Amino acid sequence: MKQQKKIVTIGGGIAGTEVSSILAGLGYEVTMLEKTNQTGGKLNQWNHLFPNGRDAGDITDFLRQKIAMQTFRVLKTTSVGGVTRRNGLFEINTNTGEALEANAVVISTGFDLFDATRKEEYGYSIYENVITSADLEEILRRGHPLATSRGTKPRRVAFIHCVGSRDEKSGHHHCSRVCCVTGVKQAIETAKQLPDAEIFCFYMDLRMFGLSYESLYREAQEKYNIQFIRGRLSEASENQDESLLIKAEDTLSGRPLKMNVDLMVLLVGMIPGKETSRMAELFGLEREPNGFLRIADPHLDRNRSSVKGVFLAGTCTGPMTVDETLEHARSAAIDIHHDLQGMNS
């Protein structure tokens, strides 16, 4: 059934595409703005997904098919320039000079990855053999072999958990949630590619919250012999041959520990996206101390923002997995539908 009401979705990643397609299916006139020239968000850069190792392309294809149905308008390379509000209607001016009217707005501008160069003591972009989890994903996605800067096969690989998460020094108190299981997934993928390599994960806590994440962790220990050392990396230094000497405390035995590794992978956390912060200012949205957008109620109202008519979907509200993002987008669609039908007020 055709509705008179209009919705503008800002951000064309997982959450934006999902919420737009559902609202379009309910008959609303939906326009989705995407600032880059490609929808799908950061998922485009990912190779395989936890917990089952499926191709990230499965999800991007699922989203692309929804866009291909053309039930809603998609404006690429388009971002919001300004917002005005009149008689309960939003008027959104884009950088391309369009003025869009909307009864409701969805913010789905997502997250940014923590910039690992800020943890200088870990040596990212200083030492040759330090990469991030996103870099590793890119290497695997391109089908390149895992190799050191000198082209040799790594014999020892270390994964470092909580880089830019739970870290007051870098200004991010929060737990990014997904990196623990990403580390386990990537450690297994590394073990599969380099069966002779020793693989270590340095962790503070391991938070295997998902239903089958714990079994993945167990599989990593049992089947792939991945060793977990409880202790946060204090520093890394480069040897003459570009391998790395890393230091941590083995907190379970209470002694300092050092080892040389050929490759080090930093599991970078999720922080509020730059575009998310800009939307907070443009729409006057309240934010959490960690910078993510504040939801109206942590149990009962997870998609409304502090401003009436502005709804939130996905990782602009905090770190989420792909499945959680899809669910959050779907629940946003229901809330918007209820509001626009006058069922909630």
By the criterion CB under 8 A, which residues form the site for another protein? 218, 221-222, 225, 227, 230, 250, 252-253, 255-260
SS (H, E, C) 82-113: EEEEECCEEEEEECCCCEEEECEEEECCCEEE
| Residue 250 C-beta: closest distance to another protein, Å | 6
Peptide bond into 195 cis (omega under 30): no
Cβ distance to another protein smaller for residue 67 or 226: 226
Pick between residue 192 and residue 258 the one whose CB is nearest to another protein: 258
Q: Are 157 and 197 in contact (CB under 8 A)?
A: yes
Query: Of 216 and 332, which CB lies nearer to another protein in the complex structure?
Result: 216
- 96 vs 253, which CB is nearer to another protein? 253
Least distance to another protein, CB of residue 48, Å: 23
**14-to-21, 182, 307, 332 alpha-carbon distances in Å:** 11, 18, 23, 13
The rounded distance, in Å, linking the Cα atoms of 319 and 139 is 24
Residue that the structure tokens 């390599």 belong to: 197
Closest approach of another protein to the CB of residue 252, in Å: 5
Query: Residue 208 or residue 334: which is nearer to another protein going by CB?
Result: 208
β-pair type (255-261, 244-250) = antiparallel
Closest contact distance (angstroms) between CB of 25 and another protein is 46
Decide whether 73 or 230 has the Cβ nearer to another protein: 230
Are the C-beta atoms of residues 216 and 208 closer than 8 Å to each other? yes
Work out how close the CB of 259 gets to another protein at its nearest, in angstroms, rounded to a whole number.
3
| Alpha carbon 147 to its chain's center | 26
Kindly report the number of other CB atoms within 10 A of residue 302's CB atom: 18
Q: Which is nearer to another protein, 204 or 259 (CB)?
A: 259
Compute the least distance from the CB of residue 241 to another protein, in Å. Answer: 13
Q: Which pair of tokens denotes residue 22?
A: 């559902």
Q: Are 3 and 28 in contact (CB under 8 A)?
A: yes
Tokens of 73: 């308008």
CB of 151 to another protein, least distance (A): 22
Asked if 244 and 238 count as a contact pair (C-beta separation under 8 A), the reply is yes
DSSP element (H, E) containing 233: strand 233-238
Shortest gap between Cβ of 253 and another protein (angstroms)? 5
Complex with another protein: residue 218 or 308, whichever CB lies closer: 218
Instruction: Supply the minimum distance, in Å, between the C-beta of residue 337 and another protein.
Output: 45
For another protein, the closer CB: 81 or 224: 224
Q: Which two tokens stand for residue 87?
A: 């008689």
Can you tell me the distance from the alpha carbon of 15 to that of 284, in angstroms, rounded to the nearest whole number? 21
If you search the block for the tokens 């575009």, which residue do you land on?
A: 275
CB-wise, 118 or 230, nearer to another protein? 230
Shortest distance in whole angstroms from residue 218 CB to another protein: 6
Rounded distance, CA 227 to CA 229, Å? 6
- List residues bridging with 268 in a β-sheet: 163
